[in-house]
Chains A and B, each alone.
Chain A
């Protein structure tokens, strides 16, 4: 168990990186608390896997330090770091039985057979692999194989951190849900640090207490699911999290007031706004409502999303989406919109005003 601290970490796959674009992972500092359940969320190619491989020791950082409980492990091997990692595609040892596969990480560390037996039995029980323990691993389905990979990650009791690199990609949807709850449950039981990499917001938000959102090799926000939802630090987070994503509308900022479509919009962080750079207001569809006296808008499309309807409108030359609860009247034609001031923010060059890191 350990607290993991990343200090000014940077990584490039090139031998002599020069410009900022050469870095797969741009400068980042981050602390992972001992025992936390983290999700690393971001689109494909944003550097999530690079970050994971740096923490596990499969890659050595170009710059910066990785500290486990204050000890510098930047150049230590995965074995010295004592971590577990589960990969996107199932890795199994074909010639071994399921039991031997699960026992492999323990046997490599000379754990006594009796202890191996109890650990493997416990993990197999949890992953519902008990009935297949004596089968050859190569005969299992993709699901079964990935469960073995997960099992090998979970079997060691003393690891500093368990990392999952999109581990449920190859799993059937119904089982996906089940395994995810299993992992969550396991975390609550063992309180081991877990980092779960995914590009699926539902997975991230259900699994983690703390979500780290990455984009283009940078961490754009780290926070609880509620923080990410209510106060996105960057328009990217606004877009990426939530369905549909946040409305981002270009605006003018004058003396801490946002002007959009010829009107002043009440915002939450007006005092912090400088009005420099590209200025936008961001408001989630959940916080847009229909009200007389609001901004004039025209309904262009309504789509049904089950518990609510997504209403697309044109307002001041831009598309603004809002949600209407099931059963409420859906507006037609000309209407008026109001943004909830507590959840409307000004963004400058993409970052929330006043909080540029």
Chain B
């Protein structure tokens, strides 16, 4: 059969390219453009070079929110990944309870993010909320609008509630795809439950866990909606994470230049850390 070489087919890629351009490339270039200019409104721009970047590196507010962000993300990962894995291991592999568990697990993921914020906002209210009032009734002083510890506790609990399911579902999918023969061989080889986990389940879940860690890292590093609804970054700025800081700069202060510079640095941090995670996990695979 003769094949006709026809480069006109490339035109078919055009719609996709246009979409990517409009929703990713053009905004990104605009941000880069802003980050090296100064504006006083009226659509007038002046070249400012790397001023905003230098300023950002000495901006205490940025450094503080970056630190908070790192602590938050690390905490959330340390809790959610093992917890998700354990829940997935405990879930039934067959029978009528499978669908019940799967639906229950999917529910938190289906709740709109600002609703999650409102739910926990109400739940944690010290005077009427189940969580807030309950903790106070147990003699634990809890007030997330006044105490940073309470606020952090609530924010982390909310994120664990909202996102552990994702890890569970990913791990569960990974677990059910392990062929029965592995478990049978392990039984014949006399392996105990720990050995089965350590030498069969964990290695087979490696890729799924890499994806889970990456997704949870990126999402938690960009957290905005739930926190802004729950605490608004307070009390003070104790739960002010990077994206809240960014929005305040860009929309609150209309400091387009500094905000653009911050966006780029923010973006680069996520890109760099994701790349690092991925490469490290894949490298140990290659060994």
Could you give 24 example pairs across A and B, Cβ below 8 Å?
Answer: A56-B188, A58-B188, A78-B188, A79-B190, A84-B188, A85-B184, A85-B188, A87-B184, A88-B181, A91-B181, A91-B185, A93-B199, A93-B200, A93-B203, A94-B203, A104-B191, A105-B188, A105-B189, A108-B189, A108-B190, A108-B191, A136-B287, A149-B185, A152-B189
Interface string of B257-269 (1 = CB under 8 A from A): 0000000000000
Give the distance to chain A from B284, nearest Cβ to Cβ, in Å.
10
Interface string of B161-195 (1 = CB under 8 A from A): 00000000000000000010110110111111001
Q: A109 near B: Cβ within 8 Å?
A: yes
Distance of A149 Cα from B192 Cα, bound (Å): 18
Q: B68 near A: Cβ within 8 Å?
A: no
Q: Classify the secondary structure of B's interface with A.
A: helix
The answer to whether B189 touches A89 (Cβ under 8 A) is no
Residue of B181, B185, B192, B199 ringed by the most chain A CB atoms within 10 A: B185
The answer to whether A79 touches B187 (Cβ under 8 A) is yes
Which chain A residues have a beta carbon within 8 Å of chain B's beta carbons?
Answer: 53, 56-58, 77-79, 83-85, 87-89, 91, 93-96, 104-105, 108-109, 136, 149, 152
Interface string of B193-234 (1 = CB under 8 A from A): 001000110011000000000000000000000000000000
Distance of A53 Cα from B179 Cα, bound (Å): 16
Distance of A85 Cα from B181 Cα, bound (Å): 11
Q: Given A78-B187, A93-B199, A95-B199, does the pair A108, B181 have CB atoms closer than 8 Å?
A: no
The answer to whether B184 touches A58 (Cβ under 8 A) is yes
Interface size for B (C-beta < 8 A) is 17
Q: Classify the secondary structure of A's interface with B.
A: loop
User: In the assembled complex, which residues on chain A have CB atoms less than 8 Å from the CB atom of B191?
Assistant: 104, 108
Distance of A147 Cα from B148 Cα, bound (Å): 60
Distance of A96 Cα from B200 Cα, bound (Å): 10
Q: Which of A53, A57, A87, A94 contacts B185 (CB 8 A)?
A: A87
Distance of A78 Cα from B188 Cα, bound (Å): 6
Distance of A87 Cα from B179 Cα, bound (Å): 12
Minimal Cβ-Cβ distance residue in A for B187: A78
The answer to whether A89 touches B188 (Cβ under 8 A) is no
The answer to whether A83 touches B188 (Cβ under 8 A) is yes
Distance of A79 Cα from B189 Cα, bound (Å): 8
User: In the assembled complex, which residues on chain A have CB atoms less than 8 Å from the CB atom of B195?
Assistant: 108
Distance of A84 Cα from B195 Cα, bound (Å): 18
Give the distance to chain B from A107, nearest Cβ to Cβ, in Å.
9
Give the distance to chain A from B116, nearest Cβ to Cβ, in Å.
38
The answer to whether A104 touches B189 (Cβ under 8 A) is yes
User: In the assembled complex, which residues on chain A have CB atoms less than 8 Å from the CB atom of B192?
Assistant: 108
Distance of A58 Cα from B185 Cα, bound (Å): 10
Residue of B179, B188, B190, B195 ringed by the most chain A CB atoms within 10 A: B188
The answer to whether A77 touches B187 (Cβ under 8 A) is yes
The answer to whether A58 touches B287 (Cβ under 8 A) is no
Minimal Cβ-Cβ distance residue in A for B287: A136
Nearest first, the 7 closest Cβ-Cβ pairs linking A and B are A108-B190, A91-B185, A105-B189, A93-B199, A94-B203, A87-B181, A95-B203
User: In the assembled complex, which residues on chain B have CB atoms less than 8 Å from the CB atom of A84?
Assistant: 188
Give the distance to chain B from A162, nearest Cβ to Cβ, in Å.
10
Taking CB atoms and an 8 Å cut-off, the chain B residues in 237-272 that contact chain A are none
The answer to whether B190 touches A94 (Cβ under 8 A) is no
Distance of A78 Cα from B181 Cα, bound (Å): 14
Interface string of B131-171 (1 = CB under 8 A from A): 00000000000000000000000000000000000000000
Give the distance to chain B from A224, nearest Cβ to Cβ, in Å.
29
User: In the assembled complex, which residues on chain B have CB atoms less than 8 Å from the CB atom of A77?
Assistant: 187
Give the distance to chain B from A284, nearest Cβ to Cβ, in Å.
38
User: In the assembled complex, which residues on chain B have CB atoms less than 8 Å from the CB atom of A56?
Assistant: 188
Minimal Cβ-Cβ distance residue in B for A159: B188
Minimal Cβ-Cβ distance residue in B for A149: B185
Give the distance to chain A from B14, nearest Cβ to Cβ, in Å.
43
Residue of A56, A96, A105 ringed by the most chain B CB atoms within 10 A: A105
